[in-house]
Amino acid sequence: MIKFDKLTIPDEGEKIQIINDELIVPDYVIIPYIEGDGIGRDIMTASKRVWDAAIKKAYGIKRKIIWFEIFAGEKAFKIYGNYLPEDTIKAIEYFIVAIKGPLTTPIGGGFRSLNVTLRQKLDLYSCIRPVKYYNGVPSPVKNPEKMDIVIFRENTEDVYAGIEWESNSKQNLEIIQFLKDKFDIKIPQDAGIGIKPISEFKSKRLVRAAIKYAIKYGYKSITLMHKGNIMKYTEGAFRDWGYEVAVEEFKDKIVTENDLWDKYNGKIPTEKILIKDRIADSMFQQILTRTDEYDIIAAPNLNGDYISDAAAAQIGGLGMAPGANIGDFIALFEPTHGSAPKYTNQDKVNPSSLILSGVMMLKYLNWDKPAKLIEESIEKTIKEKKVTYDLARLMDNIKPIKCSEYASTIIDNL
């Protein structure tokens, strides 16, 4: 049995197991959660009430989540004197699926970001962000309902590798000299330098995960988003490796855009997933002008970062966009926004992003019934214009309700 320094495993419930490459979820499943900093307490309390109520409504007493609190961020610092204790990493690895609230990046704590550290330590290489419109949410575009995409963003390399040297630093000057001596490349002496690694293994595993997701959830297309016209051996290679993994490993399930016209007269054969690619800049136009032609977008880290927020803006902003960081099995679900410290303990902010991250988690567990109930109820609640301040200010003459009241209304509407 696993041993922790300061955590006690709940008496009730069992852990998820992986047997023959499959997730086996017990009916009373132990799920570790990190409350989060700032608004974390408000939104985690509200969200747990919604998830529990939906599971009860769907399954009665047959299924239940046994919550197991683990610590990161300010709460962890109080208990362990460390913002990201080893217990927390061990618990997520052992229990396989976990959910977290947002974490404030400690200033001068030696971490670039707790979130980035968690993703790297657990090798959670796909950042998955579904971006879908819920009826009634105020949106800046005319047809927000056309948006229903899932972004797979590579989580461990490209700019997230964090390899940079400051202008005029010793290492920077050495690299400039090395490039000049070895390759006759001239870089201005005062330039900062960053290195952007994009590898075959990591690109392929991301695109593989995106294809498996498309197969599991019935999506019709995957678009590889890249800037390969300019950066041939990083971004362009990402595209080439993406096609390679599709053709070599999923031949019977996919059709490439080239083959679509050469062999199928432009009509996607039923049951096949279209694999296409688009240059990053055009992708930003496309999600605005031809929104419904896109389903899954697979992208290296930086492209994925930009397109996630741009897409989320069309469906009501980050407050409505859930997220997950998933590795080979280990999955950590989290809202896309931060800890908004100025709203701490005000019972004010919108918990939808975290609630919907929990919906993703329920689907990952194959508990689809409560997931669907929550999605329908959120839609109903927003249509009734019972919303928190962020959405209320985008609607006419709507008095906002509190975070906890919003959760209660969702529960009533289940």
Footprint of ligand NAP (CB under 6 A): 39, 102-105, 113, 115, 319, 334, 337-341, 349-350, 353, 390
Beta carbon nearer to ligand NAP, 228 or 335? 335
Residue nearer to ligand NAP on the CB measure, 13 or 335? 335
Whether 160 sits among the annotated catalytic residues: the reply is: yes
Instruction: Return the CA Rg of the chain.
Output: 22
Cα 122 to Cα 124: distance, rounded to the nearest angstrom: 5
Catalytic residue among 37, 87, 277, 305: 305
From 227, 348, 380, 386, the catalytic residue: 227
Given 5, 281, 292, 328, the catalytic residue: 281
- Residue closer to ligand NAP, measured from CB, 247 or 398: 398
- Alpha-helix residue ranges (DSSP H) falling in 141-232: 170-183, 200-217
Of all residues in the shown chain, the one whose CB is closest to ligand NAP is 338
Q: Which of 160, 219, 243, 406 is catalytic?
A: 160
- 366 and 61 in contact (C-beta within 8 Å)? no
Residues 193 and 166 sit within 8 Å (Cβ to Cβ): no
Q: At its nearest, how many Å lie between ligand NAP and the CB of residue 403? A: 8
| Least spacing, CB of residue 254 vs ligand NAP, in Å | 32
Question: Could you tell me the smallest distance in angstroms from the CB atom of residue 124 to ligand NAP?
Answer: 12
Q: Which is nearer to ligand NAP, 277 or 347 (CB)?
A: 347
Q: Which is nearer to ligand NAP, 295 or 390 (CB)?
A: 390
Closest CA to 71 of 115, 101, 116, 34: 34
- The per-residue DSSP string of 245-305 comes to HHHHH-TTTEEEHHHHHHHHTT-PPTT-EEEEEEEHHHHHHHHHHSGGG-SEEEE-HHHHH
Nearer to ligand NAP, 303 or 350 (CB): 350
CB burial class (10 A; 0-12, 13-18, 19+) of residue 185?
A: exposed
Q: Which residues pair with 304 in a beta bridge?
A: none
Q: Degrees (nearest 5) of the Cα angle 399, 57, 411?
A: 10
Q: What token pair was written down for 9?
A: 């495993």
| Dihedral of alpha carbons 93, 35, 300, 192, sign | negative
Report the nearest approach of ligand NAP to the CB of residue 309 (Å).
Answer: 11
Quote the least distance from Cβ 129 to ligand NAP, whole Å: 11
Instruction: Please report how close the Cβ of residue 391 comes to ligand NAP at its closest, in angstroms.
Output: 8
Across the beta sheet with 28-34, what order do the strands follow?
Answer: 64-70, 28-34, 97-100, 331-335, 322-326, 126-132, 148-154, 296-299, 221-226, 273-279, 254-256
Q: Among all residues, which ones are annotated catalytic?
A: 160, 227, 281, 305
